[in-house]
């Protein structure tokens, strides 16, 4: 199934629901991140390199790296949730494997197990420079599905 999810796009309704939610996130907008793929159980988020998202040595800051990983996983889970629900992160663990450098970072969230209440996702972040991709962080995340408050 994972190979299929990598290529497949979510339905237009799910894509709109995910993109609308993403657009309401102040932090993602502040960082300059954008969603580049929304598939069933899989979301990609890119973060362009710019001085505002780096640390003192010029690498992407671990906070920015972690934030896009968290959002990619959260939205990957959200693609599989019913329309009347929302998503919150319960916990995540991230390992920083290499200095995060490149033209941009690409975070990929992939659902490993979607449950009625809890969902577990794999998180990967790549530094992309030209055609070279380097895995700079990976992790795992647990999400909780919550009912959307009545309007």
We find that the CATH architecture of domain 2-147 is: Roll (3.10)
The confidence score (pLDDT) of residue 11 equals 95
Question: What three-state secondary structure class fits 65?
Answer: helix
For the chain, give the mean pLDDT.
Answer: 94
| 4 pLDDT higher than 90 | no
Beta strands in 18-103 (DSSP E): 34-39, 42-48, 85-96
Q: What is the pTM of this model?
A: 0.93
Banded model confidence at residue 149, pLDDT cuts 50, 70, 90 = confident
Question: What three-state secondary structure class fits 6?
Answer: helix
Residue corresponding to tokens 């916990």: 91
**Domain locations in the chain as residue ranges:** 2-147
Beta-strand relationship, 42-48 and 34-39: antiparallel
Q: At what angle do helices 62-78 and 12-23 cross, to 10 degrees?
A: 150
The confidence score (pLDDT) of residue 6 equals 56
């Amino acid at each position: 199934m994972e190979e299929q999810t990598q290529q497949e796009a979510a339905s237009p309704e799910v894509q709109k629901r995910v993109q609308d939610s993403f657009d309401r996130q102040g932090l993602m907008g502040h960082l300059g991140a954008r969603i580049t793929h929304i598939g069933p159980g899989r979301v990609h988020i890119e973060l362009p390199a710019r001085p505002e998202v780096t640390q003192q040595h010029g690498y992407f800051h671990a906070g920015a790296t972690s934030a896009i990983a968290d959002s990619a996983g959260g939205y990957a889970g959200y693609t599989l949730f019913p329309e009347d629900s929302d998503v919150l992160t319960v916990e995540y663990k991230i390992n920083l494997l290499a200095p995060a450098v490149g033209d941009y970072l690409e975070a990929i969230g992939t659902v490993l197990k979607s449950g009625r209440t809890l969902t577990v996702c794999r998180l990967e972040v790549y530094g992309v420079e030209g055609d070279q991709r380097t895995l700079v962080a990976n992790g795992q995340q647990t999400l909780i599905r919550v009912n959307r408050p009545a309007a």
